[in-house]
Chain A
Amino acid sequence: MTFADPQPQLQSSHDIAESWRKVVARRRMYTGLGFLILFIGFVGSVRFADESNAGHFFDRLPHLFDFLSWLVPKDWGDVWRALFDIASPNDKGGQEFNFDQGRVYIWGDFYIPEYFELMIITFNVALVSTIIGFIFAVPLSFMAARNLTPSNPLRIAVKRFMEFLRAFPEIVIAGLFSAILSIGPIAAIIAISLHCIGALGKLFYEVIENVDMRSDEGMRSVGASWMERVRFAALPQVLPNFMSYALLRLEINIRASTIIGAVGGGGIGEELKLSISRGFGAKTLALVLLLFVTIFAVDQFSAWLRRRLVGENAFLLKH
């Protein structure tokens, strides 16, 4: 038996070159078309955004750095005093320099500076949400993974449910619960945890779908139940990846809890928003510095821990 020539119409090298040129020309046309569409969309978007903004881009551009004038404090020492709640010599009443008012006394004269207390709240919101998300996402992800699901309809249902949790705007959940539980960090915890369950669940079931199924075969061959298969065949393989993703999620959740805080969830976000809107330079700088250092430190620590858990290629930023 002989196979037919796959491309009998290409007889000579000239034909091959001609056909290659055609392919390249078509691909270039598509690329060009794509860029053109992108460019038109970009120009249209810029004009739309500029028109619907309160201040226009070119009118405001010369004033872009105006806010630096209030941001730069007259006395740089005030930034440190604001950070550590030390009374400022510039304090003439009012709220701009009342640094020593916010001290949270723990024991005698020992106090936690106000901003550190707020940062602890924001960090705890993120950590609690990540833990709650992790605890719920693990069982849900085993139900949603194609290779380990107990039943197919359940898999689809769990997957849709997690998609819904991911897409539902966090700020609505936060708003609803702050109306019920009064404004505060608990509403933020609920909002971020629900989102976190959906986000972690998706990452987790993708990890589970890529596990080596030979150990699962071994477990099944000795008659293991679903729980035993999950516990002894899959979990040891996926746990390092799970931890790595949970750490990644912690980084994202710290940002989320700051933002939710700014819209009423308490913590450092709210204070930052107030301080910027009132134009308190030293306080704003102290808050930005604290927030920046915390986020940077958590990012670096979690990157280091993730490298130890799953090796160099651990970084997969997904929300």
Chain B
Amino acid sequence: MTFIDASQAESIQERYPEVFQRSFFKRFAPLLMVISLFLYGIYAVWFFEIPKAISEGHWERVGIYLSQWVSYDVQAEFRLEGDTITPKYPRFSPLGNDPKPDWVKQNSDRTVTVEIRGPSRAVTFSDTEATLTAHGESVRVELSGGKPTVSGNIRPWVSVYDEDVVADMGFAGEVRVEADRVKIRKRFLGWANFIFDPQSPFFGKSIGEVMSLVTTGAQIEPGRSNLSLAIDNFLNNGEWQHGDVWVKLLQTIIMAFLGTILGAVVSFPLAFLAARNITSSRFVNQSFKRFFDFLRSVDMLIWALFFTRAFGPGPLAGSAAIFLTETGTLGKIYSEGLENIDDKPREGVQSTGANHVLVQRYGVMPQVVPVMISQTLYQWESNIRGATIIGAVGAGGIGLKLWEAMRTNKNWENVAYMVLLILLVVFIFDSISNALRSRLIGKPQH
């Protein structure tokens, strides 16, 4: 083991001054970058008014919207008219047309109990009073006198307004008591009506029943097999619109496919003209390279907006937009791939007296084609994501449908369904293109 004493350290410092006495800029560059990032952060907070936006945000909606992704609610109304209590359910609710749900109980003393979450969160009411039960506590609401009044202490989960008393029962739902009616919102986990909607004759039947109807049952609609009716009912499900969603998803994939493949076909020959080691004219190289830059810089959004105007909304507009952007991107990638090839095979083919086209075919293409195909696959994959977004500006496909579902702020479960489908498609294409790429280039990329 050797140690360095002070004199040796000094001599090392003398020999390598550039290591020990670096310029001011080099020494403080990281610090300066951190400081400027920090200052920019402050500027951004001021510029976007982030504290204001956060304090004014409707944060209570986060829970509501996210719970709508995975659940649905049923609203029921109970009219209190004298002695009779008439339940009213919305038409085409997930409960069916003539529901007799087991969470609504007619008691022997002519009161009605509605269980929001078992007996522990429930409401029991007659035409004169209602008892709200939740969190192990009970609150009595008097209904006689034209408006509901809470007798006893008001709990934090009960809000009292002029016309009604609202009990928040958490995720399970809420109870709204008015003078002449009780409104219930009860939330169920899962997606309602996912397979058949209430208008379908197959609604509410178990898988076994549907199977036996399809295979051996009598024809529900004369002159049409039950199987075709079932498939039709499924695809045209009123709320989930499976058929439409799938067609739109296919449109998005096709938009990306058409745009990418047309872009590849057009940019392939142009890339040879843009590569400076293959075409010797600098002017031609530069003009094609600037042309590619131009196509990329005009941006997919602008192309999409123009073509939506030219072709009308739909996948044709999206394909054309992706095609033009992709010609620029692939042209740039291809020409840079061509500029990085090994020149020796070309020289070899040239020395046999082959003509210009044959030199490219046997001297250049074997080197670049696998890389090009791999890059093209990658672009297709990323264009599927791009096509989803430009769809929302009118280029068609699933993007538009997603955007419409979100705009209403009600159909978040449909958004979740479409997101799941998109994730599935992206995942499948990711796997396929990874498998193809690793076979083409010969090393696993992931």
By a beta-carbon cutoff of 8 Å, the part of chain A in contact with chain B is 38, 41-42, 45-46, 48-50, 52-57, 60, 63-67, 124, 127-128, 131, 163-164, 167-172, 175-176, 179-182, 184-186, 189, 255-256, 258-260, 262-263, 269, 272-273, 276-277, 288, 291-292, 295-296, 299, 313, 315, 317-319
The answer to whether B57 and A180 touch across the interface, beta carbons within 8 angstroms, is: yes
Question: How far, in whole Å, are A111 and B305 apart by their CA atoms in the complex?
Answer: 30
The answer to whether B293 and A179 touch across the interface, beta carbons within 8 angstroms, is: no
How many residues in B have their beta carbons less than 8 Å from beta carbons of A? 73
Question: Which residues on B sit within 8 Å (CB–CB) of A276?
Answer: 305-306, 309
The answer to whether A179 and B61 touch across the interface, beta carbons within 8 angstroms, is: yes
Q: Which of the candidate stretches B125-133, B191-199, B386-394 sits at the interface with the other chain?
A: B386-394
The answer to whether A176 and B53 touch across the interface, beta carbons within 8 angstroms, is: no
B302-341 residues with Cβ-Cβ distance < 8 A to A are 302, 305-306, 309-317, 319, 329, 332-333, 336, 340
Q: Who on chain A is nearest to B309 by CB? A: A67
Question: How far, in whole Å, are A50 and B62 apart by their CA atoms in the complex?
Answer: 40
Question: How far, in whole Å, are A53 and B395 apart by their CA atoms in the complex?
Answer: 9
Mind listing 15 A-B residue pairs with CB under 8 Å? A49-B319, A52-B396, A55-B314, A64-B310, A127-B40, A131-B37, A131-B41, A164-B423, A171-B389, A171-B403, A180-B61, A182-B56, A259-B390, A263-B403, A291-B299
Q: Which of B59, B297, B310 has the most CB of A within 10 A?
A: B297
The answer to whether B389 and A42 touch across the interface, beta carbons within 8 angstroms, is: no
Q: Please provide the 5 A-B residue pairs with the shortest distance between their CB atoms, ordered closest to farther.
A: A53-B314, A54-B312, A55-B312, A175-B406, A319-B382
Question: How far, in whole Å, are A181 and B306 apart by their CA atoms in the complex?
Answer: 31
User: Within 8 Å of chain A (Cβ to Cβ): is B258?
Assistant: yes
The answer to whether B312 and A60 touch across the interface, beta carbons within 8 angstroms, is: yes
Beyond A172-B419, A295-B297, 20 additional pairs, beta carbon < 8 A = A49-B258, A49-B314, A53-B317, A124-B44, A168-B419, A170-B385, A176-B65, A180-B59, A180-B61, A180-B62, A180-B65, A181-B57, A186-B53, A263-B403, A272-B302, A296-B294, A299-B293, A315-B333, A318-B378, A319-B386
Question: How far, in whole Å, are A241 and B306 apart by their CA atoms in the complex?
Answer: 37
The answer to whether A169 and B315 touch across the interface, beta carbons within 8 angstroms, is: no
The answer to whether A54 and B409 touch across the interface, beta carbons within 8 angstroms, is: no
The verdict on A292 contacting B298 (CB below 8 Å), with A66-B310, A171-B399, A263-B393 known, is yes
B399-440 residues with Cβ-Cβ distance < 8 A to A are 399, 402-403, 406-407, 409, 415, 419, 422-423, 426-427, 430
> In angstroms, how far is the closest chain B Cβ from the Cβ of A112?
13
User: Within 8 Å of chain A (Cβ to Cβ): is B261?
Assistant: yes
Q: Who on chain B is nearest to A275 by CB? A: B305
